[in-house]
Amino acid sequence: MEKPRVVIVGDGVAGAATAFALARRGAAVTIVDAGLVGRATDAGAGIVQPWSTSSDGEFYELYSAGADFYPELIERLAEAGVHEIGYRRSGALVVNRDASVIDEVEQRVRRRAATSRTAGEVRTVDPGAARELFPPLADGYHGLHIAGGARVDGRALRAGLLDAAAAHGATRVEAAAELTGGGAVTVDGAALPADAIVVAAGAWTDRVLRPLGVRVRVEPQRGQLVHLRVDADTRSWPSVHPVAPHYLVAFDAGRIVAGATRETGSGFDARVTAAGERQVLDDALALAPGLAGASVIETRVGLRPLPEGDLPTVGPVDGRPGIYVNTGFGAGGLTMGPLVGDLLAERVIAECG
């Protein structure tokens, strides 16, 4: 039996995860990406901590399942020769000056942690203990420590998924892909043979689908994140979540990521702006004034694929047999993307057989 031929358009985390999962299952995979500036995967902070979110229902179930999938993903990547994606369970610290807010979050997290494979121990900490866990933190923050909170390096994850896909025979084409009205992928006017096409082009997905007269209704939302460096061993520092859209994430070698703006209506403008950078730094220093002397390494910008509703758009395109989409993760792509790519690959293989 011949291998199903699948073309993936887009090699951010959604496309890379789908490509790896398809190649691992025996598909002949071709990944096409134009290398556009502003890919969300390359800028994402990499927080893997779904349990404290106030969101519920289907979104939370997918979010949580994505976090629980990481140990299995790491094993599969290791089998393909990939051993480093910048993933570490160094804990998460939810903080607020109002102890009653932490009590409310604790109830939610404990209920969810009871059914999670990766959440780990959950415990409240007083302001002094919170500062011991994250030394730059301001005084007066009550905390909830979630031992299983993790972080992942989006760039390392993407590279690892693509390398693992290549180890299973996938090929990559660095070029702009176009869909024809008949449902074929062309590169420089030449059609690529395909039994199935997966459009995983992030914020650009609707642009790719336009020749088919199809829309999945995702729009770009600019997110700006500032990377700082401190003179400290930050490997065991938890990520910090102040029950607000901003956060701090510690990586190795003294790197702290502060984020992030959520600039809906930004269009495909991937610039660093003075207002965006100021907002991120103001939020970071209000939360952790001990970072005031940190060096600013860089500011990254990602265009999140913001869905019209809460959930990503994943699956076949109505009326277009053999064409699938995988997009719309908003700020949750690095948590949900690997699992969703695996689930979609399973469906594509079943329907191509």
Averaged pLDDT for residues 238-254: 96
In this predicted structure, what is the pLDDT of residue 182? 81
Instruction: Determine the Cα–Cα distance for residues 272 and 222; give it in Å rounded to an integer.
Output: 10
pLDDT at 353: 66
Whether pTM > 0.75 for this model: the answer is yes
Q: Which tens digits make up the pLDDT trace of 65-124? A: 999 999 999 999 999 999 999 999 999 999 999 999 999 999 999 999 999 999 999 999
Answer whether 137's CB lies under 8 Å from 126's CB: no
Q: Which amino acid is at 247?
A: Y
pLDDT at 271 (0 to 100): 97
3-state DSSP assignment of residue 348: helix
Structure-derived torsion over alpha carbons of residues 318, 321, 323, 325, reported in degrees to the nearest 10: 30
Averaged pLDDT, 344-348: 97
pLDDT at 228: 98
Q: Per mean pLDDT, which range of 6-10, 36-40, 274-278 is the poorest?
A: 36-40
Q: How confident is the model at residue 2 (pLDDT cuts 50, 70, 90)?
A: confident
Q: Which domains can be identified in the chain, with CATH numbers? A: 5-352 (3.50.50.60)
pLDDT digits (tens, 9 = 90+) for 161-177: 999 999 999 999 999 99
Residue 227, pLDDT score = 98
Residue 76, classed as helix, strand or coil, is helix
**Residues 52-62: what's their mean pLDDT?**
95
In the predicted model, is pLDDT for residue 1 greater than 80?
A: no
The pLDDT score that the predictor gives to residue 189 is: 87
Tell me the pLDDT tens digit for each residue of 129-164.
Answer: 999 999 999 999 999 999 999 999 999 999 999 999
Q: Which residues contact 86 (CB under 8 A, 6 or more apart)?
A: 46, 151, 152, 153, 155, 156, 157, 251
